[in-house]
Copies of this chain bind each other. A is one copy, B any other.
Amino acid sequence: MNETKKIPVLERVMKKNEQIAAEVREQLHEKGIVTFNFMGSPGGGKTTLIEETIKRLQGKKRVAVIEGDLATTIDAERIRHYGVKVLQINTGSMCHLDIRLITQALEKIDLSDIDFLFIENVGNLVCPSSHDLGEDYRIILASVPEGPFKPKKYPVIYKEADAVIITKTDLLEYFPDFKVEILFQHAKEIQPEIKTFVVALKGEKIIIDDWITWIEQAKPKKR
């Protein structure tokens, strides 16, 4: 059996998915909704960033959240606490969200009722990069304990990113070899247009204002 001959099957599925994603993006734009796809390693701080962002957008932007995880509703429960619409998708053994799961989730959200849609992808620095979810912006989180070389080691996901956020910077003193500027420089070598932010969301010194200022002003855009 010749396996290579049949690979076009997967290519066709991917192409069809891209078409659906483009249609979803258009549909969301018609409603004036801006969509953000949050990606990063497991435990990199995606849910915490979404929580803290929602808190600061209250009264300014109406937000809905789609939570992607292999299993559990732990993250959805955390977000629900903030009184926003949240939908949990469990992917089972699939390493990323795809547009078919997103369209199913969107059927359950009143789109006339929101300004921003946040999608938290499965914790993974590889698979999510090749799946368009109809988003306007791709946000990559890189947490300090992961070390400074993530853009170099996982270039594919950085190539398509609109912003990189270094999280857990309250831990910088325990990781003296982690240089914020070095990670940003590596990210810019891969994607020169990438926006760069740092956040610290625990401890005494909270840092998040630059990120909030940027996201508040984010407009719908084509990918």
Contacts and interface: CB of A to CB of B under 8 A. Distances in A.
Interface stretch (A30-38, A64-72, A108-116, A204-212): A64-72
A57 B12 CA distance: 50
The bracket for how many chain A residues form the interface is 35 or more
Q: Which of A74, A147, A153 is packed against the most chain B CB atoms within 10 Å? A: A153
A154 B69 CA distance: 8
A130 B129 CA distance: 20
Number of copies of this protein chain within its complex: 2
A124 B153 contact: no
A126 interface: yes
Contacts of A155: 70-71
Given A42-B125, A43-B146, A70 B156 contact: yes
Contact of A123 (B12, B71, B125): B125
The 8 A-B residue pairs with the shortest CB-CB distance, nearest first, are A43-B146, A95-B126, A145-B145, A41-B42, A6-B9, A41-B41, A43-B147, A93-B156
Given A123-B154, A126-B127, 8 more contacts: A1-B12, A42-B153, A43-B145, A43-B146, A69-B153, A95-B126, A171-B171, A171-B174
